[in-house]
Amino acid sequence: SDFPALLSAAANKMLLAAYVPAQPTYRQIFLRRDFRDFKPHRHLRIGDFPTLLPLAENGEIQVGTMSESQEIVLLQTFARRLRVTRPMLVNDDLGAFTDFAAAIGRRVAEFENATAYNLLNSANGDGPTLATGNAPVFATGAARANKAGTGTPLDTATIGAGRAAIMKQRTLDGLPISMGQTMRLLVGPNLELAARQATVVVQASETAKANVFAGFVQPVVEPLIPANRWYLFSDPVAAPVYVYGYLNGAEGPQVTTGQVQGADGIEVSVIFDFGVGAIDWRGAWFNPGT
């Protein structure tokens, strides 16, 4: 009863190529941090070294303090299996079952991307609630100050406003955060044209017509970003907001095959250890769009 069209006796069959997804875009804005085990992983953030003070006349060095915070990210295991009988393999005149590895690899890459963006898109784009401040990743007001109060169109002016908002963020001890050299402008299909127009290099004859963001704001177009939402992300190495990782650095799934008990065939099992989470809010800006 499985794959009736594929394994039918009808002639003139053609096996169409699967849709191969692009390299998962979430990796451009998430920072990779692998997991040692399945225990809750505490992502600790320490503040800045205290400001230096003049040495007292008696030679005493004054004591300072450093702040700290933490967020917890969990590793999960995902799995699935598929049974293929010997008659199915024999009748596979198109070779559909000959390369499970490629099909599994494409599906897992797509699953990673979807899992990451499900987290980012949660709460209407505000993201999950962080332990620090007990608020979502993106919020208006003093607690976060990384979300537009009212959605606005995407252009150089609104990109500039978002970039300025990130530059005004401070570390735990009040110093300006590091943004890195290149920012990511994350948009969905609706805003691809606007994003590329706002970041393309323009050979302008006048300064006022030059594209000020060309070269250091990189557009990232992702179909899983709905409506007209758009985000600005700092370089994830400099100011990470979301993280992802694998168990002990084992990127990709574990694939095993074995005989089906009581039947003439094989069973393909896929196990994948993967985790994503939010650890900070300072390095990004969210605009709900219009």
290 touches 258 (CB < 8 A): no
Q: How far, CA to CA in Å, does 66 sit from each of 46, 48, 51, 143, 181? A: 7, 6, 10, 20, 27
pLDDT exceeds cutoff 60 at 14: no
Buried b (16+ CB within 10 A) or exposed e, 12-45: eeeeeeeeebeebbbebbbbebbbeeeeebebeb
- Give the whole-angstrom CA distance, residue 159 versus residue 290: 14
CB 180 within 8 A of CB 218: no
Q: What mean pLDDT comes out for the span 196-202?
A: 83
pLDDT bin (cut points 50, 70, 90) of residue 89 is confident
Is residue 227 scored above 70 in pLDDT? yes
Using CA atoms, how far residue 196 sits from 180, 221, 281, in Å, is: 21, 9, 25
User: According to the model, what pLDDT value does residue 49 have?
Assistant: 79
Decide if pLDDT at 99 tops 60: yes
Task: Give pLDDT, residue 24.
Answer: 92
Per-residue pLDDT band at 58 (split at 50, 70, 90): confident
pTM, two decimal places? 0.85
Residues with Cβ within 8 Å of residue 47, at least 6 apart in sequence? 66, 67, 68, 171, 172, 173
Q: Is the predicted pLDDT of residue 232 greater than 70, yes or no?
A: yes
What the block records as the tokens of 105 is 């690899």
Number of CB atoms found within 10 A of residue 68's CB? 10
Residue 108 in this model has a pLDDT that exceeds 70: yes
Q: Evaluate whether 274 touches 112 at the Cβ level (below 8 Å).
A: yes
Percent of the chain residues topping a pLDDT of 90: 51
Single-letter residue type at 115: T
What's the pLDDT score for residue 62?
Answer: 86
Which segment of 175-189, 209-223, 240-254 scores lowest on mean pLDDT?
209-223
